[in-house]
A and B are shown apart, each in its own frame.
Chain A
Amino acid sequence: EIVMTQSPVTLSVSPGERATLSCRASQSVSSNFAWYQHKPGQAPRLLIYGASTRATGVPARFSGSGSGTEFTLTISSLQSEDFAVYYCQQYNDWPLTFGGGTKVEIK
């Protein structure tokens, strides 16, 4: 099983600041990698797939990078609606696996 490790667990950021979230895979997943945003009481939302392609309707302030085992989600200027939990996921091999999540909270 490919283990996905996210860091940090919690990220405290002020509105307008930049946020950088990391995800590491225990073995290469190529670019078969996605990021999701999840707010309490809501369905998760796909942000990024293919490691760097923004999903439809996702603002340009969200960007994804990386390949192989190291991946980054950058939010260039945090807006109030961006405070949430973010998950990474690999779809290179079965079983599909998620990271443990990074909570982005207001500083």
Chain B
Amino acid sequence: EVQLLESGGGLVQPGGSLRLSCAASGFTFSKYAMNWVRQAPGKGLEWVSTIVSSGVGTYYADSVKGRFTISRDNSKNTVYLEMNSLRADDTAVFYCAREGEGSNIYFKNWGQGTLVTVSP
């Protein structure tokens, strides 16, 4: 059974930093791209970032480009999201998600999410 467990969320002041982690199990982690998707309070889903299976390719939403960095450690089956220069509009539940089959970036499996609150 695929499991994705996010951690690292919390309360941070504007301009601060936070690192999210997502520990994966139940599949061959090194074969799949991994993603972060967020949902701000009262809003819809927003794709944030993707890292390919090898880690050499990364993609970002314009809203986080230059502030967030996605990375992975295939030896630890973990994907990370380093978030800097946080703003109030980054407040959201952040979900980790695994890509689908055939290198198609739909989100086949999701974690339960971790809440990030950016507030003074």
Q: Hey, which bits of chain A sit against chain B, CB under 8 A?
A: 32, 34, 36, 38, 42-46, 49-50, 55, 85, 87, 89, 91, 94-101
User: Is B106 in contact with A89, judged by CB distance below 8 angstroms?
Assistant: yes
Q: Hey, which bits of chain B sit against chain A, CB under 8 A?
A: 37, 44-47, 50, 59-62, 95, 100, 104-113
From B47, B104, B109, B111, give the contact of A98 (CB < 8 A). Answer: B47
User: Is A38 in contact with B104, judged by CB distance below 8 angstroms?
Assistant: no
A-B pairs under 8 A by CB, number? 60
Residues of B within 8 A of A45 (CB): 110
User: Is B44 in contact with A43, judged by CB distance below 8 angstroms?
Assistant: no
- A91 with B104, Cβ < 8 A, contacts A36-B45, A43-B110, A43-B113 known: yes
Residues of A within 8 A of B46 (CB): 98
User: Is A44 in contact with B47, judged by CB distance below 8 angstroms?
Assistant: no
User: Is B44 in contact with A101, judged by CB distance below 8 angstroms?
Assistant: yes
A94 shortest CB reach to chain B, Å: 5
A35 to B48, CA, bound (A): 18
